[in-house]
Amino acid sequence: MNILIIGSGAREHAIAAALSRSPQKPFIFCFAAAVNPAIAQLTLRYTVGHITDSENIVTTAKNWQIDLTIIGPEAPLESGVADALWEAGIKTIGPTRTLARIETSKAFARELMQEFQIEGLPRYRVFTEMTGISDFLNILGEAHYVIKANGLMGGKGVKVAGEHLPSITEALQYCEEIFAQSSSVVIEEKLVGQEFSLMCFCDGETLIPMPIVQDHKRAYVGDEGPNTGGMGSYSDANHRLPFLTNDDIEQALAINQAVIAALKTKTGEAYIGVLYGGFMATRDGVYVIEFNARFGDPESLNVLTILQTDFVTICQAMTSQTLSQCAIQFAPLATVCKYAVPKGYPDQPVKNKAIDFANVNNKEQLYLAAVDVKKEQLIATGSRTVAYVGTASTLTQAEKIAEHEICAVTGELFHREDIGTDALIQKRIDHMKSVRAS
């Protein structure tokens, strides 16, 4: 079987590693914007090109006699790569452009929730001009709003009152900036609580949940500094998070299920791929922050590292819409993922500096991201560089392993020492207790 991966980050490295563990022994291929040497080692063929260029991807996939494609990032979903592959008769993990609007248009996601009365919808409004924005911000109240650019902004389109927007004046300026680049602005009430990610395998009807993970968006220890793509993540051995209740988890899964059903009713299309619900557990239950139409990064590293079921079988079950017959198991292990990133990341990262991971003990759980090879030397190209996933029967042990191993990667890099530590997790638990009691 020939399987094509689109993308070259740590998420796609984790996908390639999971495929390479399959007893079906597929041949793995990659089409990406850059060469990731770790993915290249696992693949039969690897080519570099524009990952939104459907025509080139389909031609390449046909030349390589690809049976199944897995799309990693969101940009190819938005540009209709899944549509083009299905039209060419190639089964694909990753929704069509129409369905991917659940991620690529924040307004679409909110309006779908409203139309189908799906739980967890915060107060929101979509604006296509400045008129009315000031009034709505005042209704939500000083420091109680979030402003989102409607389109894909590479994780940089969301600003939160009190964190990135000190006053309504800055909020209005930010809306004007968005209008200069995008057609609309979504303004929502700010949610107070703890965030978590629940990803599900989907075949259009059936959803199978993966372990719940918490990501860390801020760059620096103590949740300080600018937002990033995600500095690391953790999940407990019971595949939950210590601050969540059974009700929170049931609500989140029910919301993901309702969204897949609503998408089917609205578009007539089956959602085949991964639906990622980004949730906030609050005093009043679970609310939706956003949806993604793909595996999360770093969340996918936590879950794919401990996936016990053959990943190829799962992909086949998604594309043949037989997921209900597929029992999916994850090892009962806690996972802590830590990313090492270039100094200065995300705003002014040092670039093209040598890195070395020769001293990492278990390289099977190390995932390469934004790297390149120049003159036989591995270099960090400026974005998230390398992630390590520690696994153990407790979070405490998993964190110690992740910390030890990520420290063994040398170069002009930094990471968050606090992710997955007992102290930070206790802070999350205490915060959630105080939120529930407020």
Site track 392-411 with ligand GLY (rule: CB under 6 A), x = hit = --------------------
Q: How far, in Å, are 80, 111, 256, 269, 392 from residue 266 at the CA level?
A: 18, 11, 15, 8, 43
In contact, 247 and 257? CB cutoff 8 Å: no
Q: Which stretch binds ligand GLY (CB under 6 A): 38-46, 253-261, 291-299, 343-351?
A: 291-299
**215 is a contact residue toward ligand GLY (CB under 6 A):** yes
Q: Which stretch binds ligand GLY (CB under 6 A): 17-25, 58-66, 170-178, 293-301?
A: 293-301
Q: At a CB cut-off of 8 Å and minimum separation 6, what does 408 contact? A: 357, 359, 360, 361
* Residue closest to ligand GLY (Cβ): 296
Note the Cα 262 to chain centre separation in Å: 22
Q: Which stretch binds ligand GLY (CB under 6 A): 18-26, 238-246, 292-300, 345-353?
A: 292-300
Site track 220-239 with ligand GLY (rule: CB under 6 A), x = hit = ----------x---------
Q: Return the residues of window 318-377 that contact ligand GLY according to CB under 6 A.
A: none
Cβ proximity to ligand GLY: between 158 and 355 the closer is 158
Separation of alpha carbons 331 and 336, rounded Å:
14
Task: For residue 304, give the nearest of 42, 20, 109, 73 by alpha carbon.
Answer: 20
User: What is the CB neighbour count within 10 angstroms for residue 417?
Assistant: 15
**67 is a contact residue toward ligand GLY (CB under 6 A):** no
CB of 367 to ligand GLY, least distance (A): 14
Q: At a CB cut-off of 8 Å and minimum separation 6, what does 213 contact? A: 196, 197, 199, 233, 234, 235, 241, 296, 298, 299, 302, 303, 335
* DSSP 8-state code for residue 323: G
**83 is a contact residue toward ligand GLY (CB under 6 A):** no
Q: Which stretch binds ligand GLY (CB under 6 A): 166-174, 290-298, 306-314, 420-428?
A: 290-298
**296 is a contact residue toward ligand GLY (CB under 6 A):** yes
**292 is a contact residue toward ligand GLY (CB under 6 A):** yes
Question: Which of 78, 188, 297, 403 contacts ligand GLY by CB under 6 A?
Answer: 297
Q: At a CB cut-off of 8 Å and minimum separation 6, what does 97 contact? A: 77, 78, 79, 80, 82, 83, 104
Which residues sit at the interface with ligand GLY, rule CB under 6 A?
A: 215, 230, 292, 296-297, 299
